[in-house]
Chains A and B, each alone.
Chain A
Amino acid sequence: MEHLDYQDGNALAGPLSEIFTFDVTVAQGTCAGCGRRGALAELRVYGPEPGLVARCPGCEEVVLTFVRGPKDAWLDLRGSVSLRIPITE
């Protein structure tokens, strides 16, 4: 049996909490590759080194990447049409 070489999208929660004030894993994303909608927690996350690469579970295209350097972080939303973020008042 082949072991999974990725984690689920909850692996994004810690690293991205440094940038966002909301829990990114509950945000709903739309994949630019296939149009699939779902919570970021459903993404397949590769890494963490050299960077986090989150792929769509539907088409395996890259939805986002996150690279954390010592002075800067880079969030690339290359494969994401939109993020729907629940706002609590």
Chain B
Amino acid sequence: MGIISRAFQGRPRDHDEKLPPGQYLVHDFPVLSAGPTPRVPLDRWEFAIDTPEGEVHRWSWEEFQALPQETPTVDLHCVTKWSKFGTEWKGVSLDVLMEDVESAAEYALAYSHGGYTTNLPLEDLLDGKAWIVYEFDGEELAPAHGGPARLLVPHLYLWKSAKWVKGIRLLNEDWPGFWETAGYHNYGDPWREQRYQGD
């Protein structure tokens, strides 16, 4: 046991508690890329949800904008160890998008322009935990950060928040995505430090 108690070290406790194990705080917004940045014109933008039962739900940009909007403020945790607190977004909750979707599926695969994919249990997209966002910090989302629209699932490592998202495929079986098949953890909970396969 240390001879100086934690309370006397003058650590900002609230930051400690908001920072998952192994992470450090940044104030900029690093860009990581696994490929060329897609440019998606809004008149050709579409978001789709499809189910194993054969249902397909589609929204054009206009239809998407007409849905109830939310402005979540969330902390981001990247698997490369940076975290960013209090990021402000605008978009549509997956609860709204899933409202009329009837399916027994338990898994989801988000897929993007440019071919990126990432998988997660469907329940991680529901109950106020995930959004399709198109504004960051009061401005339209830049292509480098996933614009026109990206998935935002802040309770998992940021690679799950697919940039340039095009749709979500609901599945009866789990279907590991791009990084999940390349060595990264299938679930990616920052609080359990699930970075790599086997963590």
State the A residues within 8 Å of B (CB): 5-6, 46-47, 49-51, 53, 55, 60-62, 65, 67, 69-74, 76, 78
Contacts and interface: CB of A to CB of B under 8 A. Distances in A.
Interface of B: 32-37, 78-80, 115, 159, 179, 181-184, 195-198
Contact of A72 (B33, B37, B78, B183): B183
A69 B195 contact: yes
A60 B113 CA distance: 13
A46 B36 CA distance: 8
Nearest to B157: A50
B119 to A, nearest CB: 16
A62 to B, nearest CB: 7
Contacts of A73: 183
A65 B33 contact: no
A13 B83 CA distance: 30
A46 B135 CA distance: 26
Contact of A51 (B78, B182, B197, B198): B182
Nearest to A47: B34
User: 10 closest Cβ contacts across the A-B interface?
Assistant: A74-B183, A67-B183, A69-B196, A65-B182, A53-B34, A49-B80, A76-B182, A46-B34, A46-B33, A67-B182
Contacts of B35: 46, 53, 55, 60, 62
Contacts of B36: 5-6, 60
Main secondary structure of the interface of A (DSSP, over half): loop
Contacts of B184: 50-51, 67
Which of A60, A67, A72, A73: most chain B Cβ within 10 A?
A67
B179 A51 contact: yes
Contacts of A5: 33, 36-37
B35 to A, nearest CB: 6
A47 to B, nearest CB: 7
A84 to B, nearest CB: 23
Given A61-B115, A69-B196, A72-B197, 5 more contacts: A5-B37, A47-B33, A70-B196, A72-B183, A76-B183
A62 B179 CA distance: 12
A53 B36 CA distance: 11
A73 B115 CA distance: 23
B198 A72 contact: yes
A70 B179 CA distance: 16
Which of B179, B183, B196: most chain A Cβ within 10 A?
B183
A51 B33 contact: no
